[in-house]
């Protein structure tokens, strides 16, 4: 979990200098800026894929504000994957080609399973599954900047805001099978509040991508943090994973719980305990 400090820019992990010193020139007089750029270091502990998409530490809140977006991505996508921009900006013809390509891949899968894709029950399955999979991953086509839109309001409220029991369905990126559960999101405002439905919609956008629960939990928390810069954000998610219940270890009823605490929820035990007590109450 990301530990935020007031004197440290949001989006840059502790231990990373937000303004690193200039590198000295080489003995031959050439500067380091003339050398080929080195491979970026992996940012451990944040749960994002640094080699396939934009990782959170590369952006600060100042950079996001400059891009006129409440999120650390100039396009408002929120940590897009490698091909997210291609899907977001696809034309109608490109969308049709993508669906056709995916349908062909599903037909190949059916053949590899030992089935007959031309029998009556499976004749239209490739097209159906292609459409269903694109729908279940529609989060790649939604801009978080549009989701939040103008639902940020000035309000002199400094007590905890919680939206709990938000139903979540996503696809495990390891096996492409579903995991489902509930998520609770809380924050303590700092002069700004976010429309309540936007908390659920932020969770929905990230869940409609290939995910692992740990990353999903952190992405939701960091998106809220970047959007309104509250005093703190807390997210807890409970989910059941089909990759554990219908294959592998086959343990129905096993529940995975993940959390992410930012700001005062991480630094103040009483605040954290109040949140955990409220989300357990019925």
What is the set of active-site residues?
172-175, 213, 241, 243
| pLDDT tens digits, 43-63 | 333 333 344 444 333 334 444
CB 183 within 8 A of CB 214: no
CB 271 within 8 A of CB 264: yes
Handedness of CA 54, 56, 58, 59 (dihedral sign): positive
In angstroms, rounded to a whole number, what is the distance separating the alpha carbons of residues 25 and 5? 33
In angstroms, rounded to a whole number, what is the distance separating the alpha carbons of residues 41 and 36? 15
| pLDDT tens digits, 160-193 | 999 999 999 999 999 999 999 999 999 999 999 9
Q: Per-residue pLDDT for 1 more than 90?
A: no
What was the pLDDT predicted at 70? 43
The answer to whether the pTM exceeds 0.75 is no
């Amino acid at each position: 979990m990301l530990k935020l400090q007031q004197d440290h820019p949001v989006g840059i992990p502790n231990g990373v200098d937000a303004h690193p010193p200039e590198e000295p020139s080489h003995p031959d007089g050439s500067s380091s800026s003339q050398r080929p750029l080195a491979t970026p270091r992996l940012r451990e502990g944040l749960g994002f894929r640094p080699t396939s998409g934009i990782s959170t530490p590369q952006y600060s809140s100042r950079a996001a504000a400059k891009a006129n977006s409440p999120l650390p991505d100039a396009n408002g996508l929120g940590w897009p994957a490698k091909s997210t921009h291609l899907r977001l900006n696809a034309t109608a013809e490109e969308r049709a080609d993508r669906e056709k390509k995916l349908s062909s891949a599903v037909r190949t899968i059916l053949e590899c399973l030992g089935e007959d894709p031309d029998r009556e029950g499976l004749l239209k399955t490739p097209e159906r599954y292609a459409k269903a999979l694109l729908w279940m991953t529609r989060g790649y086509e939604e801009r978080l900047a549009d989701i939040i839109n103008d639902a940020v309001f000035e309000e002199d409220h400094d007590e905890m805001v919680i939206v709990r029991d938000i139903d979540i369905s996503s696809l495990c990126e390891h096996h492409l099978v579903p995991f489902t559960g509930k998520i609770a999101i809380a924050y303590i405002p700092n002069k700004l509040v976010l429309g309540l439905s936007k908390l659920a919609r932020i969770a929905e956008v990230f869940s409609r991508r290939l995910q692992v629960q740990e990353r999903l939990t952190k992405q939701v928390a960091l998106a809220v943090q970047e959007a309104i810069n509250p005093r703190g954000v807390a997210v807890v998610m409970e989910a059941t994973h089909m990759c554990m219940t219908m294959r592998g270890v086959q343990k129905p009823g096993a529940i995975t719980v993940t959390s992410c605490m930012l700001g005062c929820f991480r630094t103040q035990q009483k605040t954290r305990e109040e949140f955990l007590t409220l989300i357990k109450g019925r």
